[in-house]
Structure 1
Amino acid sequence: MRLTEITTLRSEHVVLEPLTESHNDELSEAAAEITEDLWFTSVPRPDQVMADTAFRLQQRDSGLMNPFVVRRATDGRVVGSTTLCNLLVDVPRAEIGYTWYTPAARGTAINPAAKLLLLQHAFEQCVVIAVEFRTHAHNLRSRAAIAKLGAKQDGILRNDRVGRDGTMRDTVVFSILPHEWPTVRLGLRARLARFDASPGTVTP
């Protein structure tokens, strides 16, 4: 399977649906739940969702991104968005990025379940040579979550890009390689098993 192939990924915790313009209303509702000023990340405001979707779909049509809506399986509610991006189809290699969740979805099974689905797809269906993660150097929550996956830090790209507030962004780069994937998979499954054993009481 190619990284650009449009597909739905699902588990008992989440459904990753291919992004379409029909998701804009649900994504706007989800984005409206985020009240913090997350200046170091790319969470769209409700009035930016339409433009954000258009950007992701343009990237998809250019073969550079495979975007998904994150839907909670238990109630069908859209709780965020994620992508396989910076696709190098002929290598093949991908990044998991442009991810955001509602506050209620954080610290639940949603993120480990979504990451498990994306990584399984990349390593087992698309047979990539690496999956990369990138985040703002100041996004300590994201850096901790990526490290907790088992990804290894490759380095920091200084002055990598201009942030939306006009300041220069340092980008921290992590990756997972094929020989590391089985251990990462075991860790994600163990985290999800703890949720299944004690729903609502375990922080991953």
Structure 2
Amino acid sequence: MPWPEPVTLLGEHVTLEPLTHARHDELVEAVRDGELWNLWYTFVPAPDKMRAEIDKRLEQQSKGSMLPFTVVAARSGKAVGMTTYMNIDAEQHRVEIGSTWYRKSVQRTALNTECKLMLLAHAFDELDCIAVEFRTHFLNHQSRRAIERLGARLDGVLRNHRRASDGTVRDTCVYSIIASEWPAVRSHLRHQLSRQR
């Protein structure tokens, strides 16, 4: 059996369901909200590249390196983005939460907080992970602040880590939450979520 196995995670504000092509048109509509593919410091598929992005994520899932999800808003029942467990290390029980994007209208809402809470809870409580990582561009200050608000700590910066879509070289900030920190982080996220309702 692959580790981790595909699963649907249900919350009050959001459902995370295994990624398939069934939500393709909704994901295209979602990415158009804010023209997210124009952000230079991150990769978000353009509308005409959505099918290829789904294919790529499903191929990585078949190789055991990624478990992709469609992010579905509970209120509308429509897809509003994607997220994944990636850089999966089944032997050490480590995952990274990444390749995440949400349509502009749901960013900085309870949906994001609950999404991260559910992914972290599944990783630590069900998959028995020893650590969960987050990575982002050094210059993506919005993403860095969001990761830090979760309670993740900066492990370090991978300098000249990879090329960005515009050809520039990216420095990557690596953050993590380790298993011993999870109870406090869980309480913190539940408190944040209660204030966002």
Change (3 A) 1:3 1:191: farther
Gaps in structure 2 of 5+ consecutive residues: none
Residue of structure 2 equivalent to 1:85 = 86
- Partners of 1:52 and 1:70 lie apart in 2 by 15
Residues matched between the structures, number = 196
Residue of structure 1 equivalent to 2:48 = 47
- Partners of 1:4 and 1:174 lie apart in 2 by 21
- Partners of 1:194 and 1:142 lie apart in 2 by 20
Q: Once the two structures are aligned, what percentage of the paired residues are identical?
A: 49
Q: Which is further off, 48-57 or 1-10?
A: 1-10
Residue of structure 2 equivalent to 1:64 = 65
Q: Which is further off, 158-167 or 26-35?
A: 26-35
CA deviation string 1:37-70 (max 9, x = no partner) = 3111111111111111011000000000000000
Question: What TM-score, normalized to structure 2?
Answer: 0.96
Q: Is the 8 A contact 2:12 2:74 kept in 1?
A: yes
Structure 1 residue 2 displacement after superposition = 6.3
- Partners of 1:184 and 1:79 lie apart in 2 by 25
**4+ aligned runs moved over 4 Å, structure 1:** none
Q: Residue 180 of structure 2 aligns to a residue in which SS?
A: coil
Gaps in structure 1 of 5+ consecutive residues: 197-204
Residue of structure 2 equivalent to 1:154 = 155
Residue of structure 1 equivalent to 2:175 = 174
Q: Residue 179 of structure 1 aligns to a residue in which SS?
A: helix
Q: Which is further off, 16-25 or 170-179?
A: 16-25
- Partners of 1:106 and 1:20 lie apart in 2 by 22
Structure 1 residue 26 displacement after superposition = 1.0
Q: Is the 8 A contact 1:59 1:65 kept in 2?
A: yes
- Partners of 1:122 and 1:176 lie apart in 2 by 11
Residue of structure 1 equivalent to 2:30 = 30
Q: Residue 34 of structure 1 aligns to a residue in which SS?
A: coil
Q: Is the 8 A contact 1:3 1:122 kept in 2?
A: no
CA deviation string 1:170-189 (max 9, x = no partner) = 00000000010011111110
Q: Which is further off, 30-39 or 46-55?
A: 30-39
Please give the root-mean-square deviation of Cα atoms over the aligned residues, in Å.
1.2
Question: What TM-score, normalized to structure 1?
Answer: 0.93
